[in-house]
Amino acid sequence: MNCAELAELWADYLGDELSAVDRATVESHLEACAACRAEFEADRGTLAALTRLQAAPAALAIRQAKRLVVRRPPTLLRMGWIATRTAALLAIGVLAGEALRSPAPKPLAEPQAPTLTRPAAQSALAMSDEPVVHPRWIKLARQCESNGGSSFACQLAVLAETARQ
């Protein structure tokens, strides 16, 4: 392998997408070529620095995400909700179907259905399990009601507003 051939495999090597055979060939070249080895060390150093930007602990991330919930509607609205649920699930499926490449996080035990209570301050929220309501939900719900909106976004916004009342 020469330097030009290595350049074609550079992204795959850094991205850990080479076969074992190709990787061995690349590493043999790196051992022999100081210039390519220096380039590799530089890019590896950049990647190492990037990976020091850490993710939140998985359990904490799930806990935070669970605070952004929509409550199931009261009984009177449930018939209408059931009728539109299929469409709603399909729409959510577009968003969530490919969301995670890594194994899905194990959800924490949820002792009761999440509820929207009073709206929490948007900024400086305490680290708690307090549900969160974005003020734009409320505004969107009112717009939907006035426009007779039936889109999925309007449905969720109306449900969120209903649960608050």
Partner 1 sequence: MDPVSQLDLATRTQVYQWAYRLLQNHHDALDATQEVMLRALARAAGGIEDATAWLRRVTINYCLDVLRRRRAQPAASAIEPVEHRAPAGDLAARELHAAITAALADLSEQQRTVLVAKVYDRQTFAEIAAGLGISTSSAKTHYVRALHALRPRLTAFQEVSS
- Those residues with Cβ within 8 angstroms of residue 103's Cβ, 6 or more apart along the chain or in another chain: none
**What are the CB-based long-range contacts (under 8 Å, 24+) for 54-58?**
58/105
Q: Mapping DSSP to helix (H, G, I), strand (E, B) and coil, where does residue 71 land? A: coil
Supply the minimum distance, in Å, between the C-beta of residue 142 and partner 1.
15
Residue 38 touching partner 1 (CB under 8 A): no
Residue 165's closest CA among 113, 118, 112?
118
Identify residues 41-70 at the interface with partner 1 (CB under 8 A): 41-56, 60-62, 64-70
The secondary structure of residue 128, as a DSSP letter, is S
Closest approach of partner 1 to the CB of residue 88, in Å: 6
Helix (H, G, I), strand (E, B) or coil at 55: coil
83 binds partner 1 (CB under 8 A): no
Locate 49 and state its tokens. 């620095």
* Contacting residue, 3, 32, 38, 96, with partner 1 by CB under 8 A: 96
Residues making contact with partner 1 (CB under 8 A)? 10-12, 14-15, 17, 41-56, 60-62, 64-72, 85, 88-89, 91-102, 104-105, 107, 110, 113-114, 122-125, 127, 132, 134, 136-137, 140, 151-153, 156-157
